[in-house]
Amino acid sequence: MSHFSFELIAEDPDTSARAGLLSTPHGEIETPVFMPVGTLATVKGLFPEQLKQVGVQILLGNTYHLALRPGADIVEKLGGLHRFMDWDRPILTDSGGFQVFSLANLTKLTDEQAVFRSHIDGSILELSPEKAVRIQEQLGADCIMCLDECPPHDVEFARMREAVDRTTAWAARCREAQKRDDQMLFGIVQGGTNETLRARSVEGLVPLDFPGYAVGGLSVGEAPEEMYRTLDFTVPGLPSDRPRYLMGVGTPRDLLESVSRGIDMFDCVMPTRNGRNAMAFTSTGPVKMRNAVHQDDDRPLDPDCDCPACTRYSRAYLRHLFIAKEMLGPILLSLHNIAFYQRLMRDLRSAILAGEVREFVSGRLARWSG
Query: What is the b/e burial string over 52-88, where b = at least 16 CB atoms within 10 angstroms of the residue's CB?
Result: ebbbbbbbbbbbbbbbbeeebeebbeeebbbebbebe
Instruction: Yes or no: say if 280 and 289 are a contact pair by the CB < 8 Å rule.
Output: yes
**Per the residue annotation, which of 12, 264, 267, 302 is the catalytic one?**
267
**Per the residue annotation, which of 94, 148, 254, 302 is the catalytic one?**
94
| Residue 241 designated active-site | no
* Residues 6 or more apart whose Cβ sits within 8 Å of residue 275: 330, 332, 333, 334, 335, 336, 337, 338
208 to 24, 306, 329: CA distances (angstroms): 21, 44, 47
Give 112: exposed, middle or buried? Use CB within 10 Å, 0-12, 13-18, 19+. Answer: exposed
| Residue 14 designated active-site | no
Residues with a catalytic annotation lie at 94, 267
